[in-house]
Amino acid sequence: MSAVHSPLQARIVQWAVAPGDLVAAGDLLLILEAMKMEHEVRATVAGQVGELFFAADEAVEAGALLATLHAGHAAAPPRQPSSSVEAMPTALRPDLQRVLDRHHKTTDASRPEAMAKRHALGLRSARENIADLCDEDSFIEYGALAVAAQRSRRSEDDLIANTPADGMVTGTGSINRALFGDQASRAVVMAYDATVLAGTQGMRNHQKTDRMLGIALQNKLPVVLFAEGGGGRPGDTDMPIVAGLHVATFASYARLSGQVPVIGIAAGRCFAGNAALLGCSDVIIATRGSNIGMGGPAMVEGGGLGLFTPEQIGPAAVQHANGVIDVLVDNEAQAVAAARHYLGFFQGALKDGLAPDAAALRDVVPENRLRVYDTLAVLNGVVDSGSLLPLRSGFGIGIHTALARMAGRAVGILANNPQHLGGAIDADAADKAARFMQLCNTHGLPLLSFVDTPGFMVGPDTEAQAQVRHVSRMFVVAAALRVPFFSVVLRKGYGLGAMAMTAGGFHSPMFTVAWPSAEFGAMGLEGAVKLGFRKELEAVPEGPERDALYNTLVARQYENGGALPMAATLEIDAVIDPAQTRAWLLRGLLSARVRPESGARFVDTW
């Protein structure tokens, strides 16, 4: 005989058996209730039910004898549950089915008309962009069941059908998992949905955004934001607020700067609050058809500033030229690819990249020292093939800034552009370089500088652009660098501009080397002759005799200011074969380290 005891102090809700019944091991004997929760008591052996010692609705103590079972009887046939005992389900439970149905209403498939309109514009949905960005089956969505805070003016069915996720899809996913592994690839992804209330910022999607930004900060996860949308939404009536200026979203997003990589992507129209978040991003990737502005047409009109179409406000061509857009692409697919490429530089090292043809570098700089050339050819001839990602290519074009890899290691690159102002550094180029150095320093990327500059741009028109303050940014930022810095002088290394390109001076970098084509001076050598030898030149009659003396003096300056004399006086560290540039940089990177953050502070000059 086997005894059945109560596992806890409880009340008997219902017996599922009667004396004499045959039961199999695992069959339900009775149901107990304690603290409003029901507990099943099942048979531990097969047998015949003996005496029942308590009736339904009686209270029992823990350990009380409830019934006896006479073991050893033939196995009982399968019992049919009584009408009061739940049967095994043959379909999905109603509560689960409701959840699945509700989630389906958040998908693109449930809104074919909205998707058709979106695709007719040549644009993708928020969920399509996220699916393209994140690795397959890696995205988990937060807040999918939210709707707009407009219950006082719209029905629940209307809100569910027309304001899914309150116009913003948020969650975490993996990006570049195949390259960097599961943990290193995790990121927070947020996408405003332009098919829902024009991608405006509602109170619920503000709450979702704040939730995700907190997760990103706490777990040091990169953030990718698809920012398309019209800014703040005035139609949310469920919240007892007046202006909504207390929301934490903008401060929370800005707080990520310097903590994790933050990427903003714009396609279509991105105005007001959406643009403010975009502008706080480390890098902005935008399509050629995008419009970005701190106020859309309604806000401009409301300010009494005139009537404009959305396409007239902040078109991509303007925002690329003024530096707002870092990477300009044709469409959202390219924007997602660029985001993957950019983020990869901050996710870890790769195995050795494919080295380009080093010998080709020997012919990049023309023998004619007055002939311009493309320094991007130098960069592509040094870094891993296919890794170069130029940033802000439409702005400050006197200096190229780019991310790339060297034997799989991420680096930042600066290079003068002699095709613009002969490589002279103007205010825009200096601002671009200074901010880029801050970006690399913050995230621990070594900096490589390729120098070909006659110095800082000068002249009355230039000084009217606050040149003094702008170009000095390069010195102040470089003085606070914790990352290794390497300089290669390709041709002109003149004056303060060349010093700014070498982190403040030729001995500030880990090394400063030069190609045989390099030339140096405190200023342009022709100008140095005219100023330094004015008396000697004026003592000779104008004409062929003075011209001959001038040419002789200039030639002497070039001879004295060549790469070899500079190396002989130890003002630079070496003169190298251009074909050895990659090898020098790779060995230098092995010798240097990124110093821990020291908390060093400086007051930006601009």
Q: What is the pLDDT of residues 162-189, one digit of tens each?
A: 999 999 999 999 999 999 999 999 999 9
Distance, CA of 504 to CA of 524 (rounded, Å) = 19
What is the pLDDT at residue 215? 97
Q: What is the band of 83 on the pLDDT scale with cuts at 50, 70, 90?
A: very low
pLDDT for 79 equals 56
Q: List the strands of the sheet with 37-42, edge to edge.
A: 37-42, 28-34, 10-15, 59-60
164 strand-pairing partners:
none
The helices-and-strands tally (H runs, E runs) of the chain is 21, 25
> How many residues make up the chain in this entry?
606
Cβ contact 234:150 at 8 Å: no
Distance CA 231, CA 512 (A): 48
Q: Could you please report the per-residue DSSP string of 501-552?
A: TTTTSTTSSSEEEE-TT-EEESS-HHHHHHHHTHHHHHTS-TTHHHHHHHHH
pLDDT at 86 over 60: no
Q: At which residue do the structure tokens 């569910």 appear?
A: 160
Determine phi and psi for 421, rounding to 5 degrees.
55, 30
Per-residue pLDDT tens digits for 546-558: 888 888 888 887 7
For tokens 């998908």, name the residue. Answer: 107
Token pair 């404009």 is at which residue? 308
pLDDT for the residue numbered 80: 55
Amino acid at 81: P
Average of per-residue pLDDT values in the chain: 92
CATH of domain 107-344: 3.90.226.10
Identify the band that residue 535 occupies on the pLDDT scale cut at 50, 70 and 90: confident
DSSP H helical ranges for 163-292: 177-180, 203-219, 249-255, 272-279
Judge contact between 410 and 483, C-beta under 8 A. Answer: no
How many other CB atoms sit within 10 Å of the CB of residue 254?
A: 16
Q: Max alpha carbon distance in the chain (Å)?
A: 135
Please report the sign of the dihedral spanned by the C-alpha atoms of residue 23, residue 25, residue 26, residue 31: positive
In what helix (H) or strand (E) does residue 456 lie, and over which residues does it extend? none
Partners of 13 in the β-ladder: none
Calculate mean pLDDT across residues 281-296: 96
pLDDT-derived band at 30 (thresholds 50, 70, 90) equals very high
Tens-digit pLDDT profile for residues 368-426: 988 999 999 999 999 999 999 999 999 999 999 999 999 999 999 999 999 999 999 99
Mean pLDDT for 128-137 is 97
Beta pairing class for 28-34 and 37-42:
antiparallel
Residue 606: name the closest of 510, 486, 467, 489 by CA: 467
Q: Is 406 helix (H, G, I), strand (E, B) or coil?
A: strand
Residue with the larger pLDDT of the pair 232 and 499 = 499
Q: How confident is the model at residue 122 (pLDDT cuts 50, 70, 90)?
A: very high
Q: How far is CA 301 from CA 119, 200, 274, 296, 307, in A?
A: 29, 18, 19, 9, 6
Query: Nearest to residue 416, comparing CAs of 497, 536, 521?
Result: 497
Share of the chain above pLDDT 70, in %: 97
Q: Of 64, 20, 12, which Cα lies nearest the Cα of 40?
A: 12
Burial class (CB in 10 A: 0-12, 13-18, 19+), 531: exposed
* Amino acid, res. 528: A
Alpha-carbon distance of 606 to 601, in angstroms, equals 15
The pLDDT of residue 240: 73
Strands 22-23 and 409-416: unpaired
Does domain 2-71 bear CATH number 2.40.50.100?
A: yes
90-115 mean pLDDT: 92
Look at residue 531 and tell me whether its pLDDT is greater than 80: no
Instruction: Tell me if 433 sits within 8 A of 474, measured CB to CB.
Output: yes
pLDDT at 81 over 60: no
The Cα–Cα gap between 492 and 505 comes to 15
The CATH number assigned to the domain with range 358-518+562-591 reads 3.90.226.10
Mean pLDDT of 296-324: 93
